[in-house]
Amino acid sequence: DSGVTQTPKHLITATGQRVTLRCSPRSGDLSVYWYQQSLDQGLQFLIQYYNGEERAKGNILERFSAQQFPDLHSELNLSSLELGDSALYFCASSGDDFSNQPQHFGDGTRLSIL
Amino acid sequence: GQNIDQPTEMTATEGAIVQINCTYQTSGFNGLFWYQQHAGEAPTFLSYNVLDGLEEKGRFSSFLSRSKGYSYLLLKELQMKDSASYLCAVYNAGKSTFGDGTTLTVKP
């Protein structure tokens, strides 16, 4: 158990809809990272937050947005969903935003777009 | 830009040693991580290198050469449970760029 909690575990919805994925980091971790992993593909970094502030951005689509709240939990919002958005979405956390901290991953949210 | 290359697949025998290579070309470098990911599960941290040389952790070791943009993960005394995908990730300025992973199959 990594200590990172993601909800829901599975989500099935239709094209054009909007969903919110939630992540609670490990106790004491200030950084939260979001990744997308499509079938048979590697992890694609989406965005990082550190203590409530956006710190780094990857190839995140404009239809996607995220935020980190004062209690450090984070949400990833996906809107105008397309079939290609079907993927496993991972949240990870680390103690800070320095390079020597490994990231601890949640079990992911499997998003299926019908 | 960031470019990370790993072999797509490798096969090895139980009890043997296997080396998984990773080469990278990135615009910056703060450190390199190796993660293990079983199918459908979350990645789990294996090792971290920031300076050149070998880091050993039980059956797993990781090596880094920053001048060559090269790292490898060495797995000794392979066990069936080591069958998984192994991800190399370069960390730079808050961003982690992951390779596509190497799927290792351990056979009896």
- For residue A43, pLDDT over 80 is answered with yes
On whether the CB atoms of residues A76 and A8 are closer than 8 A, the answer is: no
Say whether A99 and B96 touch across the interface (CB within 8 A): no
**Region A9-37 average pLDDT:** 96
- For residue A100, pLDDT over 90 is answered with no
C-alpha triplet A83, A20, A71: angle, nearest 5°: 150
Q: Which chain B residue has the Cα nearest residue A97?
A: B94
What pLDDT was estimated at residue A41? 74
Distance CA A111, CA A21 (A): 9
Distance CA B35, CA B47 (A): 7
Nearest-CA distance B15 → chain A (Å): 27
Is A75 an 8 Å CB contact of chain B? no
Say whether B41 and A107 touch across the interface (CB within 8 A): yes
**B82: three-class secondary structure by DSSP:** helix
- pLDDT tens, position by position, B4-60: 999 999 999 999 999 999 999 988 888 999 999 998 899 999 999 999 999 998 999
- For residue A19, pLDDT over 60 is answered with yes
Is A60 an 8 Å CB contact of chain B? no
What pLDDT was estimated at residue A99? 56
Say whether A43 and B45 touch across the interface (CB within 8 A): no
Say whether A102 and B50 touch across the interface (CB within 8 A): no
Mean pLDDT (chain A) is 92
- pLDDT tens, position by position, B51-82: 999 999 899 999 999 999 999 999 999 999 99
Closest to B99 in 3D by CA, of A69, A41, A68, A105: A41
